[in-house]
Structure 1
Amino acid sequence: MVLSVALHIKPLLILYCLYRRRSRSISPRRHRKSPSPVPRRHKRQKSRSTSLSPVAKSPSIGPTERKIVTVKTKIEDEEQKKRRQQEAELKLVEEETANRVEEAIKKRVQERLNSDDIKLEIHKRLEEGRKQVLIDVAAQLEKEKEAAIIEARRKEEEAQKEKEELERLVQENRRRVEEAQRREALEQQRREEERYRELEELQRQKEEALLRKKQEEEEERAKQQKVLGKNKSRPKLSFAIGSK
C-alpha cells in the first residue's frame, strides 16, 4: 500500500525538484551578504560619499561628468533594489510552491487513501493481518496446550512415583510390623514354653516329694509293725504280790 502511494507521489516530487532547479538557474547571482543590512547600506553611503567627494572637490570635473556619475550611482542602486526585490519574490514563490506541492502531495495521498483500490488493499492487508494473528494465536495456544499436556503428564508421573513410594513405605512398614509381631509371638511362645517347663519341673518335684514322703511313711509304718511284731512274741511276766 505505501509503495503504491509512493509511486503516485514520485512524479509530483520530480516536478517540484525541476521547478526549484529552474528557479535557481533563472535567479541572478547573489552578492555575498554582509552581516546586517544596516552596515551594508551605511558602507554604500560611505563609498558613495567618498566617490562623490572627489568629484565635488575636484575642480576639473564638470557638471556633465558629475551628472553622469550621479545617474550611474542611481542606476546601480535601482539595480540592487530590483535584485533584492527579485530575490524576495523568488523566495516567496519558492515557499508558495513548496506549500502548494506539499498540499498537493497531501491531497494526492488522501485521495489515494480514500480510493477504492487503496481501501481494498487496506482491507486485504487487514484481513491478512487478522488471519496471521489468528494463526499466531492458534500456534501459541497449541504450544501452550502441548506444554500443559507435558506438565500434566509430568505431574501425573510424579504423583504415580509418590504413590508407589508411599505404597513401598506402607509395605515396608507393614513388613516391619509383621516381623516385630512375629518376633514378639516367638518370644511369647518361648516364654510360655519356658513357663510350662518350669511348671512341669515343679510338678515333678512335688510328685517326687510326695513319693518320697509316702515311701518314708511306709518305711516308718513297716518299722512300727516290725517293732510291734516282736513285742507280741515276747513271754508275759506275772508278778504275784504276797505269794509266800
Structure 2
Amino acid sequence: MAASIISSCSRNLLESKRHHEEELKLLEEETARRLEEAIRKNVEEKLNTEEVKLEIERRVAEGVKKLFDDVEAQLEKGKEDALTEARRKEEQARKEREELDLMLEENRRRVEESQRKEALEQQRKEEERQRELEMIQRQKEEAALRKKLEDEEEHANRINSLGKNKSRPKSYGF
C-alpha cells in the first residue's frame, strides 16, 4: 500500500508539475503576445506622429536623391568613357591615315623615281641611237666622199692617161 500511495503521490506530483508547466507555458505565450501587441501599438503610435512621418519623408527623399546622384554619376562616367573611346578611335584613325598617306607618298616617290630612271634610260638609248645614226650618216657621207674622190681621181687618171697617148690635149669648145 505504501508503494501504491507513493506511486499515486508521484503520479499526482507529476501531473501537478505538468499542469503547472502548461500554465507557465500559456502564461509565457500570453505575455509574449501582449508584449508584442503593446510594442506594435507603440510603434504604430510613434510611426503616426508627425515627427516620424517627416523623418521618413526626409530619409526617402535622401534615398531618392542619392539614387539619382548615383545614376547621374554612372551616366557621366559612361559619357566620359564613351568620349575617351571615341577620342582613342579618332586618334587611331588619324594614325592609320598618316601611315596610309606615308605609304602613298612613298609609293608615289618610288613610281616617280622609277619613271625618272625609265625616262633617263629611254633618253640614253635615244641619244645612243641618234649617235649611231649620225655615225652611220657620217660613214655614208665619208664613203660617198671617198667614192667621189676615187671617181674624180680615176677620171683624172683616165684623162691623164688619154693625154699621154695623145700629144695634144683636146680642147673643148662650145
**Shared fold (TM-score greater than 0.5)?**
yes
- CA separation in 2, counterparts of 1:78 and 1:228? 195
Superposed CA deviations along residues 100-135 of structure 1, whole A, max 9, x for unmatched, are 222332343344444443333222111100101111
TM-score by length of 2: 0.81
Cα 1:156–1:228 change in 2 (3 A) is same
- CA separation in 2, counterparts of 1:121 and 1:47? 72
Residue aligned with 1:233, SS: coil
Task: Report which of the two structures shows the higher radius of gyration computed on alpha carbons.
Answer: 1
- CA separation in 1, counterparts of 2:112 and 2:11? 130
Q: Aligned to 1:212, which of 124, 129, 146?
A: 146
Cα 1:78–1:173 change in 2 (3 A) is closer
Q: Aligned to 2:137, which of 203, 226, 229?
A: 203
Equivalent residue, structure 2, for 1:102? 36
- CA separation in 1, counterparts of 2:71 and 2:50? 31
Equivalent residue, structure 1, for 2:167? 233
Moved over 4 A (4+): 76-84
2:127 matched to 1:193?
Answer: yes
Matching of residues 85-100 of structure 1 within 5 Å: 85-100=19-34
How far off is 1:150 after superposition? 1.8
Cα 1:84–1:186 change in 2 (3 A) is closer
TM-score by length of 1: 0.60
Superposed CA deviations along residues 165-220 of structure 1, whole A, max 9, x for unmatched, are 11111111111111111111110110011001000110011011101111111111
- CA separation in 2, counterparts of 1:46 and 1:184? 142
Q: Which amino acid aligns with 1:184?
A: E
Q: Aligned to 2:4, which of 48, 53, 68?
A: 48
* % identity of equivalent residues: 60
Flag the structure with more relative contact order, 1 or 2, with Cα contacts below 8 A and sequence separation at least 6: 1
Equivalent residue, structure 2, for 1:175? 109
Task: Provide the aligned length of Structure 1 versus Structure 2.
Answer: 167
Query: Where does structure 2 lack aligned partners over 5 or more consecutive residues?
Result: 169-174
How far off is 1:98 after superposition? 1.5
- CA separation in 2, counterparts of 1:102 and 1:226? 168
Cα-Cα RMSD: 2.7
How far off is 1:143 after superposition? 1.6
